[in-house]
Amino acid sequence: MGTGEEKPHTTPRRSIPDLSLLTKREVEVLLLLADGESNRSLARQLDIAERTVRAHVTSLMRKLGARSRGEAALFVYRHHGALSADAA
């Protein structure tokens, strides 16, 4: 039936999204989102409409392949150096 050898179970790793796909504003939104800020708070800090924030969040989550704000925040935690450099 088999060789008797079992391969170790590994979880498939997602590839890292291309950060160049994010606009400068999306990176700004992402960095603030990772701090747990609400869309309303983000809008106030960035001096833009809350509806615009929602559009940026939707776009960046699609580009990152994130299924939740928590996943997006985790992405920031893992890649903060690269994101901070892009925002500068």
Among residues 79, 83, 71, the alpha carbon closest in space to that of 23 is found at: 83
Q: With 80 as the cut, is the pLDDT of residue 84 above it?
A: no
Say what the pTM is. 0.72
Tokens of 78: 């893992």
Tokens of 32: 């603030």
CA dist., res. 55 & res. 75, Å (int) = 19
Q: With 60 as the cut, is the pLDDT of residue 12 above it?
A: no
Question: What pLDDT, in 10s, does the model give residues 35-76?
Answer: 998 999 999 999 999 999 999 999 999 999 999 999 998 988
Q: Where are the domains of the chain?
A: 20-87
Task: Kindly indicate the confidence band of residue 77, based on its pLDDT and cuts at 50, 70 and 90.
Answer: confident
Q: With 80 as the cut, is the pLDDT of residue 81 above it?
A: no
CATH number of the 20-87 domain = 1.10.10.10
Length of the chain: 88
